[in-house]
Every structure is written in structure tokens, then in C-alpha cells.
Amino acid sequence: MNQRLMHIALVVADYDEAIHWYTQKLGFKLIEDTTLSDVKRWVLVQPPGEGSCQLLLAKAATEEQKSRVGNQTGGRVFLFLHTDGFERDHENLLQKGITIVRGPSEEEYGKVLVFEDLYGNLWDLIG
């Protein structure tokens, strides 16, 4: 059996602002942006590393979905970004004006800091 997690849906307020933030601020690659209807697109972004899980940027369509933008996990860290260059990526976050919520700190598993994406979802940067 061969299984792997390919995509994680991230509810966003707007496709284009989310694409811009993830590609310009975090340096993710835009993998696909396909129009499915007048209001729906299939948008995939991923970090530059080999074999990375892709984020499916899913525009909120209902009031309930809109209420989840930026808070998909009730305030817990949602996504974990591993890096081979912690200091480099930490400096990039600072230069791009990304809000760092906690850290950096040294933990058993490496250096870590918590940052917010454009909507307030919490991410761990781990090196």
C-alpha cells in the first residue's frame, strides 16, 4: 500500500490576495490556478522543497466558511513548515513584515517560532 497526504484545504477570503501572500511573502510556488466556475478556482501552492504537501487555497463561499478564515483550528498552530535554513527564513519573515507570535526558541526537536499568515492562521517554522 502506498498512501500520502497531497493537499490540505486552507479557507481563504480571496484567491488572488492569498496567492500573492504565499508566493511573495513565503516564497511558495504557484503549482496550479484553474478556473472551475465563475466563483470557484482550483489553486495549489507549495513550499519549494521536494515532496511537500500542497495547500489548496479554497475561497470561503458561505457565511460559515467565512467565519473560519484565519481560525481553522480554534487558535492552535495549524500548519508546520520545516526548513533547512531557520535563520534565513526567520530573517525573511522579519523583512516581509510577517507577524511573529512566539519565539524563536530552542526545543528538543530544533529551533521553532510561531508566525501568522495573512488571515491570522498560526504556523510553526521549525529548523
111, 126 Cβ separation under 8 angstroms: yes
pTM score, two decimals? 0.92
Percentage helix, strand, coil for the chain under 3-state DSSP, each rounded to 5: 20, 40, 40
Count Cβ atoms below 10 Å from residue 58 Cβ, excluding itself: 19
Tens digit of each residue's pLDDT (9 = 90 or more) over 73-120? 998 999 999 999 999 999 999 999 999 999 999 999 899 999 999 999
- What domains are defined for the chain? 1-69 (3.10.180.10), 71-127 (3.10.180.10)
Distance CA 89, CA 73 (A): 24
Nearest to 127 by CA among 78, 96, 83, 94: 83
List the helix and strand counts (H, then E) for the chain. 3, 8
Tens digit of each residue's pLDDT (9 = 90 or more) over 3-28? 889 999 999 999 999 999 999 999 99
